[in-house]
Amino acid sequence: MTEPSTAARLLARLRLHGWSVAVAESLTGGLVVSSLVGVPGASASLRGGVVAYDTAIKQSVLGVDAALLGRHGPVHPEVARQMAEGVRRALSVAGRPADLGIATTGIAGPESPDGQPVGTVHVGIATPDRSGVVSFLFDGDRARIREAACEAALRAALDAISE
């Protein structure tokens, strides 16, 4: 028998806590939500996702600080943290934010628009009690970096609610 995927383990943990999850994605472009949706029963916990590929959407939909975006651009740890917090609010139901927010931002390549290394990824995680960021530098082509970022986001979320 194969071991459950990280997405399946995350959803099982969310169900155990009675928690919901919302996802904001930039470089992963929906891969995180797709991984979750691929697990039977995901609808018990998954609120949905926002693909905020355009920097303006990070600000207008997710509430990322405009001055932060102006100073550092969309690939920055604090942007990831604010995206995770913002998606919890953006996907509120009946005035109740999602319990867990996951966010990805980074540079998948093949070139970097701002001089940061290709493969730079920041994953934001937000819960009702805290928020934080885990940063990575992945090797590989565009597809490999996006896949690694997706798996890293799922693992970071699982770690955050397993503590």
What's the CA gap between 98 and 94, in Å, rounded? Answer: 11
Q: Where are the alpha helices (DSSP H) in 29-93?
A: 31-37, 55-60, 66-72, 77-90
pLDDT at res. 163: 64
Angle at 103 between CA 99 and CA 106, to 5 degrees: 170
pLDDT at res. 3: 72
pLDDT less than 70: residues of the chain:
1-2, 163
Local structure of 9: helix, strand or coil: helix
pLDDT at res. 111: 93
Structural contact between residues 33 and 25, judged by C-beta atoms closer than 8 angstroms: yes
Residues facing residue 96 across a β-bridge? 93
* pTM of the predicted model as reported, rounded to 2 decimal places: 0.97
Helices 6-17/142-162 angle, 10° precision: 30
Structural contact between residues 12 and 161, judged by C-beta atoms closer than 8 angstroms: no
